Amino acid sequence: MVRFIAMLVGIAFAGVLAIALFGSISGVITEPPPPTAEHEFHKHPRDLELASDGPLGKFDMRQVQRGMQVYKEVCSACHSLRLVSFRDIKDMGYSDGQVKAFAASYDNIPSINPDTGEAATRKGVPSDRFPSPFANEVAARAANNNALPPDLSLMAKARHEGPAYIYSLLTGYQNQPAKLLKEFPDAKTPAGLHYNPYFANLNIAMAPPLTADGQVTYTDGTKSTVDQMAKDVAAFLSWTAEPKLQARHTVGFAAMLFLLVFCFLAYGAYQNVWRNVKH
């Protein structure tokens, strides 16, 4: 009797869920939600081809180095790289001396004065991580119109089509289209925000960081257009998100080659063992 009652309760519960699901689906079909500005004008990231793309991709270290220069001179004013150490850039082709010099170029590493015990700052050493430009989240929001600049260490992996998204976002600032304001009068970009169709809600608190060609003077002589700088910093953030990508690709290729040879050997062994057995 108890089992029968429990079965009836289960059937009734499943029936209620089915009715609710049917009602929701029919409601969406008969009365679809009204279009929104975000749905109509949000753009898919532009195509970006990097040397690291594909299963056998390798980083273009010259481009990654240029991207780090863009990060240091432009992006580091607001964004941190808290998961990247100075010594990690040795994998980008720098010598130990260059790594030490680069680390020492940062003289704002938080420290403690051993004589007074008070907070102080010092020059960086290779074991330090890239410092945050702000003391804490409160200071970061106070300096950015209450918006919190995200850490960029894993940004290329945290966003769908990360490198292309970063590149598109940096080059996508523009005035609001007249068509948008005509169809959605209430979608005017609020004061303090900036229209960017590659951002999820179209309006982003970050002002355009790359504003003019030549903003960064590349040490290798490459012409630093806005488009080039955006591509380079996207490549650099791809590296910070997955610095061991090349090693992973190498190991993966070797593993696939081994499995292919193993399959042929296993098939040959099978044929040899069962060669005298009649089917």
Q: What pLDDT was estimated at residue 248?
A: 87
Annotated binding-site members: 75, 78-79, 206
Annotated binding-site members for heme c: 75, 78-79, 206
Q: Is the pLDDT of residue 2 over 80?
A: no
Query: pLDDT tens for residues 99-126?
Result: 999 999 998 888 888 778 787 888 999 9
Q: Report if residue 222 sits inside a domain.
A: yes
Between CA 161 and CA 47 the distance in angstroms is 9
Q: Report if residue 3 sits inside a domain.
A: no
Q: What is the CATH number of the domain that holds 47?
A: 1.10.760.10
How many domains does the chain divide into? 2
Q: Report if residue 47 sits inside a domain.
A: yes
Cβ atoms of 38 and 202 within 8 Å: the answer is yes
Helices (H), 31-105: 37-41, 61-73, 96-104
184, 61: one domain: yes
Q: Report if residue 263 sits inside a domain.
A: yes
Which residues constitute the domain of residue 171?
Answer: 37-81+148-243
Query: pLDDT tens for residues 147-181?
Result: 999 999 999 999 999 999 999 999 999 999 999 88
74, 51: one domain: yes
The 3-class secondary structure across 77-92, one letter per residue, is HCCCCCCCEHHHHHHH
Tokens, residue 146: 């209450």
166, 72: one domain: yes
71, 174: one domain: yes
Q: What pLDDT was estimated at residue 28?
A: 46
233, 276: one domain: no
179, 274: one domain: no
Please state, rounded to an integer, the average pLDDT across all residues of the chain.
88
154, 277: one domain: no
177, 205: one domain: yes
Q: Report if residue 265 sits inside a domain.
A: yes
Q: Report if residue 88 sits inside a domain.
A: no
Chain-centroid distance of CA 46 in Å reads 15
